[in-house]
Structure 1
Amino acid sequence: MNISGNKIIVKKAQKELFDFLSDLKNFEKLMPESIQKFEVEGDSFLFGLKGMPEISLVLKEKIPFSNITLGAASSKLDFQLVADITAIDANSCEAQLNFNGEFNAMMAMMVKKPLTTFMETLTENMEKL
């Protein structure tokens, strides 16, 4: 299952947004208002939203200034959250979040709507930076 977020313009230099997303503590600023738990430990963070199970993400890959890939810390659910960043000029960049997951049909049906809403919220909050 793949969910692509909207491409947005962020009023930050490409390196500045990359550095912001590389510091996992900053993901708390992008989370929905319904966040109930957020903990960073090394190269991973755990978050819990009201009415959903807690999810742990691990920093899997960073390609300087253009890509950050987070992956599921649990082997039970295999998915990635990828941030692609493209420079526009010295003070702005284009960003897009993509979710890629391997789910059975029943699970995909259950999680598609909440995941899409979650991605939209992360994207909207990133746009406000």
Structure 2
Amino acid sequence: MTTFESKKVINASPEAVYGFLSDFNNHGQLMPDSVQNWSASYNEAGFTVQNTIKLSLRITERVENKAVNITAVDNPPFPVQLNWVLEADSDKTNVTFSITAELNMMMKLVASGPLQKLADHETESLESLMRIS
């Protein structure tokens, strides 16, 4: 398994950050432009990455104000898990977003850069959105 991780300090309470992340309807706002055809419900989301890979995701666990765990479902190109971990720090929240993927050597060469960029983009977008709210 290969893990890609991004950390940010968000200027919002864990309750506010968790409230946003626990609903997949909000995650479309975190996605880069390469993600197209985003559709979501409270527990599930689907999208296409630049007309190449179609992914379906499901929130598999919510730990109130602490974590949101997501798994790729419906035959993803490789097994992947996305995890948001929240830690209170006064009136702020330390956020860690990780993408854990089972990649063979060829996929690791191709996908490592884009997956790290995705992790970084999502935490940066979350930081920006929480600043506005």
TM-score scaled by length of structure 2: 0.87
In the TM superposition, structure 1's runs of 4+ consecutive aligned residues that sit over 6 Å from their partners are: none
Residues of 2 paired with 1:107 and 1:36: CA distance? 22
Of stretches 18-27 and 52-61 in structure 1, the one that deviates more from structure 2 is 52-61
Residues of 2 paired with 1:74 and 1:3: CA distance? 22
* Alignment correspondent of 1:10: 10
Of stretches 14-23 and 30-39 in structure 1, the one that deviates more from structure 2 is 30-39
* Alignment correspondent of 1:81: 82
Partner SS for 2:80: strand
- RMSD of aligned residue pairs (Cα, Å): 1.5
Residues of 2 paired with 1:104 and 1:49: CA distance? 20
Which sections of structure 1, spanning at least 5 residues, go unmatched? none
* Alignment correspondent of 1:61: 61
* Alignment correspondent of 1:26: 26
* Alignment correspondent of 2:97: 97
Which sections of structure 2, spanning at least 5 residues, go unmatched? none
Q: Aligned partner of 1:29: which letter?
A: Q
Give 1:53 deviation, angstroms.
Answer: 1.2
Residues of 2 paired with 1:109 and 1:72: CA distance? 20
Residues of 1 paired with 2:28 and 2:42: CA distance? 15
Give the count of matched residue pairs: 127
Residues of 2 paired with 1:28 and 1:107: CA distance? 25
Give 1:103 deviation, angstroms.
Answer: 1.8
Residues of 1 paired with 2:63 and 2:28: CA distance? 22
Give 1:48 deviation, angstroms.
Answer: 2.2
Give 1:55 deviation, angstroms.
Answer: 1.5
TM-score scaled by length of structure 1: 0.90
* Alignment correspondent of 2:115: 115
The percentage of aligned residue pairs carrying the same residue is 22
Of stretches 29-38 and 94-103 in structure 1, the one that deviates more from structure 2 is 29-38
Q: Aligned partner of 1:61: which letter?
A: E
Residues of 2 paired with 1:47 and 1:75: CA distance? 14
